[in-house]
Structure formats: structure tokens, C-alpha cells
Amino acid sequence: MRYACLVYYDPRQLFGGSPESKAALDECASFDDKLKQTGHLVSGEALELPDGAMTVRVRDGKMSAVDGPFMETKEMLGGFVLIEARDLNEAVRVAGTHPIARIGAIEVRPVVDFSTPRPEL
Amino acid sequence: MTEADPRLALEAAYLAEKRRVLATLIRLLGGFDAAEEALHEAFAAAADRWPRDGVPDNPYAWLVSAGRFKTIDRVRRQARLERVLPELGRQLPSEEPLTEPGAALDDELRLIFICCHPALPPDARVALTLREVGGLTTEEIARAFLARPPTIAQKIVRAKAKILSERLPYELPARAELPERLESVLRVIYLIFNEGYAATGGPSLLRLDLCAAALRLGRLAVELLQDPEAQGLLALMLIHESRRAARLDAAGDLVLLEDQDRALWDRRRVDEAQALIERGFAGRRVGPYLLQAAIAAVHAEAPSLSQTDWSRIVALYDVLSRLDPSPVVALNRAVALGERDGAEVGLAALEAVARAGQLDGYHLAHAARAELLRRLGRTEAARLSYERALALTAQPAEQRFLSRRLEQLSDRAR
């Protein structure tokens, strides 16, 4: 199965210059290679801070595009890694090896299998 | 190197060797997480190498050694060998054979015993055993237990953390604690089976998986543990399983043992169970699972309810209630007495059990009492007991069965 590992961190903490943060950032460079070697990696990207982002909505056929989101919450989405894993526990174990897990948090989300029924809410 | 199709050989090895390779890697690398990563890498390496180099003669030994080498290699590259895995660091220089004869078997036993360790919460033991020994995925376990996958995943993560933090040893239990540890293993397997077997509501097809998983684990336990109670447990599960087709009617309602079409019972499973029971009784120690299996086997051999050897059943319950006394065993003994000596005697025995008060909340005790009262023609008292039983069960099929019994009482009263 495929799982998206969504990487969240507080930018002030991650880029605040502590030795732990620096070490984690250094490791990030080779993390993709490591996952590639173990065969878990599908794809992954780190994202620019959201002050370089736009948010797009279409309502009644009209598009609006605004700046942001701005950094309102402490932790923000900073990247993602799409992995292949046997099950949720293996995905969690792999996510636990991500360097940013030591500074921020990794949300592990199963990728939707479109052959299963839609959720009823 | 042998001349087999590497792709098929790899698939076969994955099914046949995964558990054993994992079990050994946990010992060599000192933990579940490192072992699972190494296992994953070993199979990735096999997918790369076997098509080029051929399939190794001993896939288990190849995979263990590849997994260990990959881990050492990776840790070395990270240049923090001593800090991260001091255990592994100490093992590096030694050239001890990784897979001497019997080692794989011992490792599999270690794996079962650690997953069923009494220090872990019972539901965590079940989840861990199903995943690590039974080979089910987190998602499959969640579906079988009608739980959300993150709930199951968390139980497994916490159980593994507890194994680490409490330093639960990855060892074969010492002789003194062996009975308790064995008991825990068998209970986990039986719990898994009952969860699958008792489930008649909900997506029942999915829950057959649990019975199948429990039977697989039961067979593994018989093979590995060489214990009469393991044989008894497998026999007991096989006899329950043999009645599956007769146990529910077309509408999905429960059919009592007495009303089941015995031609639907799966003779193959009963015969397998009988052989296990004989092997078990040939051993020195007779325990509760073996006795329960022997009781179930008496039913399985009877051509009809009236032709059941009730004397033998009562005698087996006598031994069982001495060995493993419980209100439920006493209740079942009373029911058997009622069949052997008449409803009056059965009711007296049942009332004696009921006076202890522990069965007040157990719907089957009230249902059994109602049944005996009905046979004695005490319709009003029977009605009250059926109603009590009905109020105590949440199981839809059992509710329908008890309601039907109540209707039959009314028909008769009219």
C-alpha cells in the first residue's frame, strides 16, 4: 500500500539554528536516498515556506487566488514523502526514521484506494 | 544454487520464510524495528540478486545473512555504530554461525512467546501475534476486529515500545515459568478464534479470516510447542470449525447443537481433531483444552443428540471442574447431567451453581435454566428465564433465537 508521510514543523524551531535542528536538516539531504535503497520511496518533496504560496478557490465559476496561507499555526506542512509499505505499522516505522520526526511531526496518511466505498459522513 | 524460477522462488520464500527470518533477525539485531527494516532490505536484495545469481540452496540462511549485513552496512555508513546499536557492535567481530540447526525453530518460539508475553495487555498480544506471527497486515487486523487501523497500529507500536522499555527478554521461557507462558500463547490463539467464531453479525465473511488465522497459529503451536494442551486447543478449534455449515440457518440464525444437521459437519476436521486428542491423551499431562476438545469430540461422534454418550461427557466435565473449576464449567456439567439423568436432576445441579451467584449476568445460564424448566412443563418459570436471557445478550442471532423460543412457549400455552 501507499502512504503519504506529511512532514510538519515549526519553522522558527527548525531554522532556529540549534544543533539538533542543524543535524536533522543535514540528514534530510540523504534521507530520500536512504528510502530509495530500502525500496520504500515513491516520491518526495520539501516545500518552500507558505509565505511564497497562493491559495486558489473556484466558487460559482469565479476564481479567487490569495496570498498565503500565512503562518498562523505553530506547525505547518513543510514537505511530503510518498512511500510504499506493507501496512500502516510499517509506514509508521519508516516515518519514524525521518530526521524531521525528531523536531516536528510526521502525519502518516493512507493513500485512497478508489475501489473501496467513499466515506459516509 | 538451484535452477528455479527466481521470481516464483522469491514469492515462495516470502511466504515460507518471512516469519522465521524476522524471528532470527530480532534476536541478532536486538529489536523489532531494526529487524523489520532488515527483513525488508533482505527481500529487496533477494529481488535484485536471485534473478542474476540463482536461488540460494538455503533461502532462510541467505535472507538472514543479507538482512544482517545490510543493517551493519547501513549503520556503519551512518558512522554511529557504537551509539545506536552497541549490541550489534559487539557481535560484529564474531564469526558465529547465524543459522545452526534448531536455531530457526528456537527463534520462532521466541517470537511467539514475546508476542504473547503476559506483561503486555491482552488485546495488544492478540494484535501483535496476528501481525508478527500470523503475517496479517495492520489493516486486515483492524477490519477483522471492526476497529480503525490507527487504533490497531497504536496498540502494536505501544506493545513494541513496552517490550523495549521493560526489557522483556527475547528468550525461551525458563522451565518454572513455562506453564504460565504457554497458557498465555494458547489463550491468545483461542481468543482470536472465538472472536471470529462468535461473530455472526456484521460483515461475517471477513471475520472468517480470524478463524483461519487462529487455525494456522494453532497448527504452528502444535508443531513448535510439542504440548498436549496445544494439541487440545487445535482439536477444539477444529471441532468448532467442523460445525460451521450447520451452525447457522439460511437466515443467519443460530441453530442449537441438538437441531443441527449432523450430515453438514465436516468429517475431515473431526477426524483430524480425534487424532490430535488421541496424541494428547497419550502424553502425561491432561489440561483444560484437551478435556474440552474431548467433550466436543463426544458430540462430534454422536449420530444424534439422544444417542450422545452423556455419561462420558459428565465424566469429562468432572475431571475438568477439578482441574480448572469455573462457574461456566459447572453450568455445562449441570446441563450434561440433565441430559443423562433427566431435567429434574439437571435443574437441581444448575440451581446449586446459580446459588453461588456468579452466573447472574451470563445469558446462557438463564437460557439453560429456561430450557430445563420448559422440559419440565414449568412454562411460566421458563418464560421468565428466557426473558432474562434475552435482556442479557446483545448478539442479534442469539436474540432472534431466544425470541423464537419465547414464541414457541406462548404457542404451547394456548
Residue B297 has pLDDT above 70, yes or no: yes
Kindly identify which residue of chain A lies nearest to residue B42, measuring between CA atoms: A38
pLDDT at B379: 93
Residue B86 has pLDDT above 70, yes or no: no
Q: Which of B408, B413, B406 shows the shortest CA–CA distance to B388?
A: B406
The 10s digit of each residue's pLDDT in A32-67 is 988 988 889 999 999 998 888 899 999 999 999 988
Interface test with A, best of B138, B154, B156 (most A CBs within 10 A): B138
Q: Please tell me the distance in Å from B21's CA to the nearest CA on chain A.
A: 16
The 10s digit of each residue's pLDDT in B358-413 is 888 888 899 999 999 999 999 999 999 999 999 998 777 788 889 999 998 887 66
Q: Cβ contact (<8 Å) for A38 and B40?
A: yes
Q: Please tell me the distance in Å from B279's CA to the nearest CA on chain A.
A: 39
Q: Please tell me the distance in Å from A48's CA to the nearest CA on chain B.
A: 28
Q: Cβ contact (<8 Å) for A40 and B36?
A: no
Is residue B143 a contact partner of residue B185, using CB atoms and an 8 Å limit?
A: no
Residues of A in contact with B44 (CB under 8 A): 38-39
Q: Cβ contact (<8 Å) for A38 and B157?
A: no
Q: Please tell me the distance in Å from A38's CA to the nearest CA on chain B.
A: 5
Residue B151 has pLDDT above 60, yes or no: yes
Angle at B82 between CA B79 and CA B86, to 5 degrees: 140
Q: Cβ contact (<8 Å) for A89 and B153?
A: yes
Give the burial string for B392-410 (b: 16+ CB within 10 Å, else e). Answer: bbeeebbbbbbeebbeebe
Tell me the pLDDT band of B321, cut-offs 50, 70 and 90: very high
Angle at B147 between CA B237 and CA A8, to 5 degrees: 140
Q: Please tell me the distance in Å from A88's CA to the nearest CA on chain B.
A: 6
Residue B201 has pLDDT above 60, yes or no: no
Please give the average per-residue pLDDT across B38-45, as a whole number.
91
Q: Report which residue type is found at A98.
A: H
Mean pLDDT of chain A: 91
Phi, psi of B234 (to 5 degrees): -60, -40
Q: Cβ contact (<8 Å) for B157 and A89?
A: yes
Any CB–CB contact under 8 A between B137 and chain A? yes
Question: Which of B105-114, B238-247, B253-262 is the least confident region?
Answer: B253-262
DSSP B217-238: HHHHHHHHH--HHHHHHHHHHH
**Sign of the C-alpha dihedral computed for residues B296, B302, B307 and B309 taken in this order:** negative
How far, in whole angstroms, is CA B380 from its chain's centroid?
41
Residues of B in contact with A106 (CB under 8 A): none
Q: Which of B367, B335, B374, B370 shows the shortest CA–CA distance to B353?
A: B335
Query: Residues of chain B with pLDDT > 90: what percent?
Result: 59
CA distance B16 to A117: 33
B258 or B280, which is more confident: B280
CA distance B313 to B297: 10
Kindly identify which residue of chain B lies nearest to residue A34, measuring between CA atoms: B74
Is residue B33 a contact partner of residue A93, using CB atoms and an 8 Å limit?
A: yes
Task: For residue B344, give Cα distances in angstroms to B76, B377, B405.
Answer: 77, 11, 20
Residues of B in contact with A87 (CB under 8 A): 131, 137-140
Q: Who among A37, A88, A93 is closest to B139 (CB)?
A: A88
Q: Please tell me the distance in Å from A59's CA to the nearest CA on chain B.
A: 35
Residue B208 has pLDDT above 80, yes or no: no
Is residue B247 a contact partner of residue B257, using CB atoms and an 8 Å limit?
A: no
Cell representation of residue B395: 448478539
Any CB–CB contact under 8 A between B37 and chain A? yes
Please give the interface size between A and B, counted as residue pairs whose CB atoms are below 8 Å apart.
42
Q: Who among B41, B44, B138 is closest to A89 (CB)?
A: B138
Q: Report which residue type is found at B247.
A: R
Q: Please tell me the distance in Å from A72's CA to the nearest CA on chain B.
A: 28
The 10s digit of each residue's pLDDT in B93-135 is 344 555 566 778 889 999 999 999 999 999 999 999 999 998 8
Q: Cβ contact (<8 Å) for B139 and A96?
A: no
User: Please, which residues bridge with residue A105 across strands?
Assistant: A8
Is residue B338 a contact partner of residue B347, using CB atoms and an 8 Å limit?
A: yes
Tell me the pLDDT band of B25, cut-offs 50, 70 and 90: very high
Any CB–CB contact under 8 A between B117 and chain A? no
Any CB–CB contact under 8 A between B147 and chain A? no
Any CB–CB contact under 8 A between B315 and chain A? no
Any CB–CB contact under 8 A between B80 and chain A? no
> Rg of chain A's alpha carbons, rounded to an integer?
17
DSSP-derived letter for residue B97 is -
Question: Which of A12-21, B82-91, B307-316 is the least confident region?
Answer: B82-91
pLDDT at B92: 46
* ipTM of the complex in this document: 0.87
